[in-house]
Amino acid sequence: MDGGSRWRGGRTEHEAPAGTIGTDESGKGDYFGPLVVAGVCVPAGGREVLAALGVRDSKTLSDGQAERLARAVREAYPIAVVAIGPERYNALYAKVGNLNRLLAWAHARVIENLLERIPECREAISDQFGDARVLERGRRISLTQRPRAESDPVVAAASIVARAEFLRRLDALSARFGMPLPKGAGPPVLAAGRAFVARHGADALGQVAKLHFRTTRQVTGAGP
């Protein structure tokens, strides 16, 4: 941004007096890996640019498509990411005891980080995960939450950035522990969890997994 009137991101530049922040998360339903919340701040007219890039809900994209589009979004617009690794996630979850409260904190942090850089953004849109509210940091910004918010290209762009970051960090954990850590929470994850415990021990699970999932009891033999 130059003098508060121009938006720059990578190779593109856009004139915009105001804009919209979209936020979304990835990793919420994945046993292994972090919880990642990302935000993208897009000026007026940016939705058309995102649509032209092929941006849509990350759940409809392959991993490769999400990673490619995430690079394009990062080059086009300012982004912010809060990534909560498994160990920190488990500590925070034990403290707050509620996933929606943890999500609310992470989304708020992403919005505030973007507002520090791009104060022209006047509204934020996210998927529905808790009570809508108005955040204030130097100026007020309206936060709208709605189901299937990824239908908005601004939120879809955030979902893509979040997913790409989740995949990158999950791959790093897999490399660190020398074994594949799959996405999701189905049978392949259960098999991988048991293999992880056999190799590294149950005490190490908290370094790679979200321990409040029922999967933890299943892989450690503590319950169904």
Q: Is residue 131 predicted with pLDDT exceeding 60? A: no
pLDDT for 132 equals 52
pLDDT for 3 equals 30
Residue 127 burial (C-beta neighbours within 10 Å; 0-12, 13-18, 19+):
buried
Average pLDDT over residues 203-211: 97
Average pLDDT over residues 178-204: 96
pLDDT for 223 equals 61
Residue 2 burial (C-beta neighbours within 10 Å; 0-12, 13-18, 19+):
exposed
Residue from 66, 48, 49 nearest 57 by CA: 66
User: CATH classification of 6-216 is 3.40.50.300, yes or no?
Assistant: no
pLDDT for 83 equals 98
For the full predicted model, state whether its pTM sits above 0.95: no
When pLDDT is cut at 50, 70 and 90, the band that residue 8 belongs to is very low
